[in-house]
Amino acid sequence: MTVTVRFAPSPTGRLHAGNIRTAIINALFARRSGGDFILRLDDTDKERSTKEFARGIEEDVAWLGLAWSSLVHQSDRLALYAAAVEKLKEKGRLYPAYETPEELELKRKRQLARGKPPVYDRAALDLTDDEKAAFEAEGRKPHWRFKLEPVDVVWDDLVRGRQHVDAGSLSDPVLIRGDGTFLYTLPSVVDDIDLGVTHVIRGEDHVANTAPQIQLFEALGASAPSFGHHNLLVGADGQALSKRDRALSIQGMRAEGLEPMAVVSYAATIGTSDPIAAHESLDELAEAFDFAKLSRAPARFDPHELRLLNAKLLHERPYGAVAGRLEALGVGGGQAFWEAVRGNLSVLEDAKDWWTVVTGPLEPVIEDRGFCDAAAKLLPPEPWGEESWGAWTAAVKAETGAKGKALFQPLRLALTGLAHGPELKQLLPMIGRERVLSRLLGETA
Ligand code: GLU
């Protein structure tokens, strides 16, 4: 059996930390199993779905490096759903109901007042043809409900273990709205059948949809796939994440300059028994992927932790992996520069600032004029290598008596204009004697 999974966002917004985890878990499972990863855009809700969001989602998934084997839009597949509707009607599993939302609400309130669960009472099943005609004459349009069978539905959830749901305790789900549009349930099941989806992997918020969907698979003559419901995210404070927080949107992370593999690594390891760690390849993450590692407790998404992971990834990244991007940023200095500065980067683009520190122009900070003048006089002639810094500062120490921070800090401030940064023994030869001299003398260089 070839594993086929799908990530099925509704294009009613861009992707954010919460839903990319579903994408990543699906993609890693597919990769691990040598299977297919389908990107399905659930765009049957015409009011809330837009083409821009759909394209944005494709962009976000592609940026994360999660290659899909096929891309489908539900809006292209309406004929399939219509055929399924006919099939369900023939089998007596789909029935029209005419209650308005207000009437349904009133029924719910009455049931609750009597201490009963607010389950749809199936009154519509008892309507005669005349009664239906009377409603239609009033201008009411029916919505359509799927008639559940009152049996115990069981599935072995890949994450949560064996699950039992008494379908007799559920309301018959509405599959088609009064305006003829589909709710998510039927198109999703029809597509899962048609596309040969073997594993439906999604967030825990869909657990309640599973029993009706299993009955729907069966009513349509298919056997249900496996299901797995992963834990959801909470913020660092344990509260639900806000979809509006830009720092949590993939677009925002991208604009900030985060590395896709940092985002993927973080999302793949939080809420699991694996340590949170940066990985450079999807294969590595896929290799480690196992449903059994997913925790049942909510996963904590801490934007700060993600940023630290991003920095860690950069700190370990070899020059060859970034050479092209550095060049595009106008950053020179080759491998020596990269190795000198990578430990000081939060995002790759920070390399630009360090390159300016090397090439100038830069405003030096002179704390002690006399000290800097003395240091300038002791500058050795070029060529310089990594040993030049040690030789020079030893001479300055011997001459001025300054040591430790009192020796190094004024030199760092004069040479870089900053109190912290990469090792000066590495930067010094790149800055070069001419600029070092000017900066020690307080000139912009
Ligand atoms: N469009 C649904 C959602 O975004 C898909 C759910 C599913 O994976 O079945 O929640």
| Confidence (pLDDT) at 236 | 86
| Confidence (pLDDT) at 247 | 75
| Confidence (pLDDT) at 360 | 95
Ligand 1 neighbourhood includes 188 CB (under 6 angstroms): yes
Residue 281: helix, strand or coil by DSSP? Answer: coil
Q: In whole angstroms, what is the distance from residue 285 CA to residue 262 CA?
A: 12
Find, among 377, 360, 375, the residue nearest to 432 by Cα: 360
Listed by start position, the domains of the chain span 92-151+165-176, 320-359, 369-440
| Confidence (pLDDT) at 230 | 97
Rg for the chain, CA atoms, rounded: 31
3-state helix, strand, coil in the chain (%, to 5): 50, 15, 35
Q: How confident is the model at residue 243 (pLDDT cuts 50, 70, 90)?
A: confident
Ligand 1 neighbourhood includes 10 CB (under 6 angstroms): yes
Ligand 1 neighbourhood includes 216 CB (under 6 angstroms): no
Q: How many angstroms is it from 29 CA to the middle of ligand 1?
A: 17
Instruction: Give the containing element (helix H, strand E) for 199.
Output: strand 199-203
- pLDDT tens for each residue of 195-236: 999 999 999 999 999 999 999 999 999 999 999 999 999 988
User: How crowded is residue 385: how many other Cβ atoms within 10 Å of its Cβ?
Assistant: 11
Q: What percent of the chain has pLDDT over 70?
A: 100
Ligand 1 neighbourhood includes 42 CB (under 6 angstroms): yes
pLDDT at 370 over 90: yes
Strand 152-157, strand 174-176: pairing: unpaired
Provide the CATH number for the domain formed by 92-151+165-176 in this structure.
3.90.800.10
Q: In whole angstroms, what is the distance from residue 43 CA to residue 386 CA?
A: 59
Arithmetic mean of pLDDT over the chain = 96
Question: DSSP string of 375-426?
Answer: HHHTPPPSP--TTHHHHHHHHHHHHH---THHHHHHHHHHHHSSSS-S-HHH
Ligand 1 neighbourhood includes 215 CB (under 6 angstroms): no
- Please give the distance of CA 295 from its chain centroid, rounded to a whole number: 18
Report which protein residue has its CA nearest ligand 1's atom 5.
8
pLDDT at 175 over 90: yes
- With contact defined as beta carbons under 8 Å apart, do 173 and 208 qualify? no
Residue 21: helix, strand or coil by DSSP? Answer: helix
- pLDDT tens for each residue of 26-50: 999 999 999 999 999 999 988 899 9
| Confidence (pLDDT) at 394 | 98
- pLDDT tens for each residue of 77-132: 999 999 999 999 999 999 999 999 999 999 999 999 999 999 999 999 999 999 99
Q: CATH number for the 369-440 domain, one of 3.30.70.1060, 1.10.3470.10, 3.90.1150.10, 1.10.10.350? A: 1.10.10.350
Atom of ligand 1 nearest to the CA of 40: 1
pLDDT, mean of residues 280-303: 96
What is the identity of the amino acid at 135? F
| Confidence (pLDDT) at 242 | 75
Contacting residues for 302 by C-beta, under 8 A, at least 6 apart: 235, 236
Find, among 304, 322, 296, 321, the residue nearest to 266 by Cα: 304
- With contact defined as beta carbons under 8 Å apart, do 93 and 53 qualify? no
Q: How many angstroms is it from 8 CA to the middle of ligand 1?
A: 5
pLDDT at 15 over 80: yes
| Confidence (pLDDT) at 240 | 82
- pLDDT tens for each residue of 336-346: 999 999 999 99
Ligand 1 neighbourhood includes 204 CB (under 6 angstroms): no
Atom of ligand 1 nearest to the CA of 19: 4
Structure tokens at 366: 């002179």
Residue ranges of the binding site for ATP: 243
Residue found under tokens 């520190």? 357
**Which pTM does this prediction carry?**
0.93
